[in-house]
Amino acid sequence: MNRCTLPLGEKCPTTAMSGVALTRADALCQWQDFLPHVGAYAADRNEVRPNHGNVSRLSAAIRHRLLLEDEVIHDTLLHTSFHKAEKWLQEVCWRRYWKGWLEQRPAIWSTWRRRVSELQRTLPAEVLRKAEAVAAGRSGVACMDTITRELIETGYLHNHARMWWASFWIHAEKLPWELGADFFFRHLLDADPASNTLSWRWVAGLQTPGKTYLVRRSNLQKYAPHLLHDPRGSDRLVDGAVVASIPTDSADTKPCALPQHDAAAPHHVGQRAGLWLHADDLSPEVGPLAQARFTVVAAFTNRAVYRDHYHLSDRRISALTSVLTDGIARAAAYYQWPAAVADVSDTAQGITDWAQQHRLAEVITFAPTVGPIHDVIPALKRRLYEQGIRLTQIRRPSDTHAFSLARAGFFPFWEKMRPHLQRLAA
């Protein structure tokens, strides 16, 4: 495993400046820098300070699997007691919980995407103008507008700031949660379909029915007093002024069976197999594909879809390109096969053309979780099948285990995960 060799706690020179790691090398160095602080995370995690030095800023790297949750958990338990690190470990596991929960309720994702389009077409013009103003940092509430500008300019927000802003959008401004979630999805460099969609549903009072999160001025004063240096509009956030505005849930939340995927790459003697690498998991050299042998490796972008369908910001598109470029470069070196990122207008067709060009019998990939990449799978399966090519999806065993536990709320999930992690620490 290609680990950073800096002494523990020494600043990684690249990430010290950039803040958000978009390569595996930077993520490993940034993680090594933060590791000595995980014991203090529980006490400091809610503080929203300038530059957010009290949090890891590794969410984008973990979201794209430049850095694996398994690696973070292993290193944490090697250096810190379970008791001291429990709150940090919970936060690491939240992303897997959300993913597993949404895997069993995929209609929530498709309903949200449909609702975004419907609302943009059907809402009254004055509501759309208001949404546009708030999303541009022109709400008139200075502290919220500061958060808006930080998101647009950096692609990053502290989790507490995300909650405040989402609550402001839904419960103070009375705007549809779906459009607020879309705004985050377009700008956050760590935007994850499950975490983003379900967190917004939670703030709105849909995820845990009737339980909302309400922004309060006293909470900002306690955890981010610097945001209140400009008091304009903050009287609208005085405790008790923001009241819940719970929307109607239009999604089907009935759970279905988890999809079944292979835990390791098959070994077909004499068969030509290609690795399709995508932004849901960019560390094939670690885990179940580490011993696989591929004829060819490739990754694909679809800038037209990024821009015209999801309306992603230029910063977000650039970040997606960066993480894919890093992943494919490492894969090319590891599997000793030339590889590149190709931009295509139709992802399913682009992968099929690539497989035909290289006379592949099988395309192997990490199973994408519910979201944009997963949405490509039905068309891809059909087109590969028509050409006599298999599609094999691999799921990391630790994901399969965690997803199987994500059937109710987070804390029942955590009570089942805790013994598993404690055994790892033993």
Query: Is 231 found in the same domain as 135?
Result: yes
Whether residue 1 lies inside any domain: the answer is no
Q: How far apart are CA 118 and CA 173, in angstroms?
A: 20
Res 62: pLDDT: 98
The answer on 290 and 230 residing in a single domain is no
Helices of type H across 245-336: 303-304, 314-335
Same domain? For 41 and 112 the reply is no
Q: Supply the pLDDT for residue 425.
A: 66
Q: Do 125 and 92 share a structural domain? A: no
130, part of any domain: yes
Q: Which of 176, 209, 237 is the last residue of a domain?
A: 237
Residue 85 and residue 132 in one domain? no
Q: Examine the pLDDT at 52 and tell me if it is beyond 80.
A: no
Instruction: Kindly report, residue by residue over 321-345, the tens digit of the pLDDT.
Output: 999 999 999 999 999 988 889 999 9
What token pair was written down for 239? 């405790």
148 within some domain: yes
Flag whether pLDDT at 2 surpasses 50: no
- Domain CATH for 179: 1.10.579.10
| Whether residues 312 and 226 fall in one domain | no
Residue whose pair of structure tokens reads 């885990």 in the numeric block: 287
Average pLDDT (68-97) is 95
pLDDT tens digit sequence for 155-204: 999 999 999 999 999 999 999 999 999 999 999 999 999 999 999 999 99
Shared domain check, 377 and 295 = yes
pLDDT tens across 208-267, in order?
A: 988 999 999 999 999 999 999 999 999 999 999 999 999 999 899 999 999 999 998 876
Decide if 375 is inside a domain: yes
Please give the single-letter amino acid code of residue 124: P
- Say if residue 97 is in the same domain as residue 173: no
Average pLDDT over residues 135-142: 98
The DSSP call for residue 392 is: E
Q: Is residue 242 part of a domain?
A: no
Q: Are 85 and 38 in contact (CB under 8 A)?
A: yes
Q: How many domains does the chain have?
A: 3
pLDDT at 422 (0 to 100): 82
Helix segments in 205-313, DSSP class H: 217-223, 303-304
Let me know if residue 55 belongs to a domain: yes
Percent over 70 (pLDDT), the chain: 94
**367 in a domain, yes or no?**
yes
Reply yes or no on whether the pLDDT at 9 is more than 50. Answer: no
CA distance 206 to 200: 9
Q: Are residues 133 and 149 in the same domain?
A: yes
342 and 223 assigned to the same domain: no
Give the domain range for residue 147: 107-237
What integer pLDDT is reported at residue 420 of this predicted model? 85
CATH of the domain at 336: 3.40.50.620
3 within a domain of the structure (yes/no):
no
Distance CA 405, CA 104 (A): 11
CA distance 91 to 96: 10
Cα pseudo-dihedral 317, 319, 324, 326, rounded to 10: 150
Do 374 and 286 fall within a single domain?
A: yes
* 38 and 86 inside one domain: yes
Residues for the chain: how many in total?
Answer: 426
The domain boundary, picked from 237, 253, 281, lies at: 237
Averaged pLDDT of the chain: 92
Contact 67, 28 (CB under 8 A): yes
> What pLDDT, on the 0 to 100 scale, is given for residue 269?
53
Q: What is the pLDDT of residue 4?
A: 40
Distances (CA, A) of 160 to 89, 167, 213, 215, 416: 18, 11, 11, 10, 26
| Boundary-marking domain end, from 179, 210, 237 | 237
**Contacts (Cβ under 8 Å, ≥6 apart) of 165:** 144, 147, 148, 151, 157, 180
Distance CA 228, CA 209 (A): 32
Q: What is the mean pLDDT of residues 93-105?
A: 97
Give the residue with greater pLDDT, 421 vs 344. 344
What is the DSSP-derived secondary structure letter of residue 298? E
> For the CA atoms of 67, 71, 75, 76, what is the dihedral angle to 10 degrees?
80
Q: What is the arithmetic mean of pLDDT over 290-301?
A: 94
